[in-house]
Amino acid sequence: MTKPAIHFATNEATNRPHSWPNLSGGHEPARRRAVVVGGSLAGLMSALALSRVGLQVTVLERSDRKSRTGAALEVSEGLLERLTGRHTKAVANILPTGAQAWADVHAGLRSVAQADPNICIRSPVRVACADQDERGAWAVAENGEVVTGDIVVGADGHASVVRQHVAPESPDAKFAGYLIWLGLVDEHLIRSRPWPSNLAILYERDYCLNAYYLPGPGGTVAAGKRRIGWGWYDARQTDLLRASGCLVGNVVQRTLRPDKIPRSTFEDLAAEARDIWPDPWREAILHCIERREVIGTPVAEYMPKRLIRGRVCLVGDAAHVPSPMTGRGFAASALDALALAEALERNLPGHGVADALCRYETKRLEAARDLVLSGQSFSRSFAPR
């Protein structure tokens, strides 16, 4: 089946579409269309939930790269079933409940979204801005292409361009004063005895370590066949982040990749790890350092004052950026997607999509603010400013 996606040029002076398409053919009400900017976890979950309630969704994603080495996400029971409305064993197997590797969750969501005839994922498309008028909303790609819909959903992460339209008075997430070193290694490569529980949260010197077991290939959780993930919170790297361009002013630009991490930093981390962290986490960390399979993600935070403006809304990290220490960013993104779809599903005849987006904001704003606040209390104690 050909997936419909409406793309047409703008009037350069106003950045508005030249004309609006009439999909209804004049007989039936046109199917509502959503443009989702960002095809990562929040974007894919929103696309699935919106498709379930009958919208035709175009997802615009700037990159094909997957990473977040080591980050673990807690998948709640029946999540994919609630997003898609399909309650089959096959669906449950795609996204098993419990702690999962970021890349596995992304791959599962993406495979389901790609198979959905109501969802068109376009990549690479980098969106430059979003806008709206009384008839619709649109995203403008950097190449000038315009993609229109009844609503635009900003799912474009902590450095969201859609947020610039929704909250122009406070568009940027701010650096929280620390980064997380992240690594992932197959458990069979580690000789030390396993840790007695699945998760360890350890504090030493000025550091915090979150280390955990993740399912191995095929979803196995048998000891020896799992993967070990770790996230090492470190508030001493601000100079390196600035020198590498990952941090400009107090705005996070990007993750520090292994080729940009100086040898001396790797050596310092290895020396610290040998001194302070217990096995098997120490061995796992040293393994990743030796192979230069470590990234450093500067932590950003964003406290939202609003989630919507007219026909444009925000979900996931575009909407709210809590410290990863909360361990709740993914769950919050899932709740955003479900609440957004529910608000649109319940739209009464004669009420515009803007009313539905107001209901979405009412449902999610306070909870999102509470989540960011809880992360800030960790950040303030971990990296006092």
Ligand X SMILES: Cc1cc2nc3c(=O)[nH]c(=O)nc-3n(C[C@H](O)[C@H](O)[C@H](O)COP(=O)(O)OP(=O)(O)OC[C@H]3O[C@@H](n4cnc5c(N)ncnc54)[C@H](O)[C@@H]3O)c2cc1C
- Interacting residues toward ligand X by CB under 6 A: 37-43, 60-63, 71-73, 126-127, 155-158, 161, 180, 182, 297, 316-318, 324, 327-331, 333
Question: Please, what is the minimum distance in Å from the beta carbon of residue 27 to ligand X?
Answer: 35
Distance from C-alpha of 144 to C-alpha of 160, rounded to nearest angstrom: 18
- CB closer to ligand X out of 61 and 150: 61
Confirm if 83 and 52 have CB atoms less than 8 A apart.
yes
Distance from C-alpha of 116 to C-alpha of 34, rounded to nearest angstrom: 14
Question: Please, what is the minimum distance in Å from the beta carbon of residue 67 to ligand X?
Answer: 10
What are the CA-CA distances from residue 214 to residues 97, 205, 223, 270, 295 (Å)? 12, 26, 10, 23, 18
204 three-state secondary structure = strand
| Tokens at 131, concatenated | 């806008």
Distance from C-alpha of 247 to C-alpha of 254, rounded to nearest angstrom: 7
- CB closer to ligand X out of 96 and 157: 157
- CB closer to ligand X out of 116 and 355: 116
Question: Please, what is the minimum distance in Å from the beta carbon of residue 150 to ligand X?
Answer: 19
Confirm if 336 and 346 have CB atoms less than 8 A apart.
no
306 three-state secondary structure = coil
Give CA torsion, residues 326, 289, 69, 175, to 10 deg: 50
| Tokens at 22, concatenated | 């009439």
| Pairing assessment for the beta strands 72-75 and 199-204 based on DSSP bridges | unpaired
Question: Please, what is the minimum distance in Å from the beta carbon of residue 68 to ligand X?
Answer: 6
Confirm if 318 and 157 have CB atoms less than 8 A apart.
yes
Question: Please, what is the minimum distance in Å from the beta carbon of residue 351 to ligand X?
Answer: 28
- CB closer to ligand X out of 76 and 347: 76
Question: Please, what is the minimum distance in Å from the beta carbon of residue 149 to ligand X?
Answer: 15
- CB closer to ligand X out of 158 and 311: 158
- CB closer to ligand X out of 105 and 273: 105
Question: Please, what is the minimum distance in Å from the beta carbon of residue 110 to ligand X?
Answer: 10
201 three-state secondary structure = strand
- CB closer to ligand X out of 166 and 182: 182
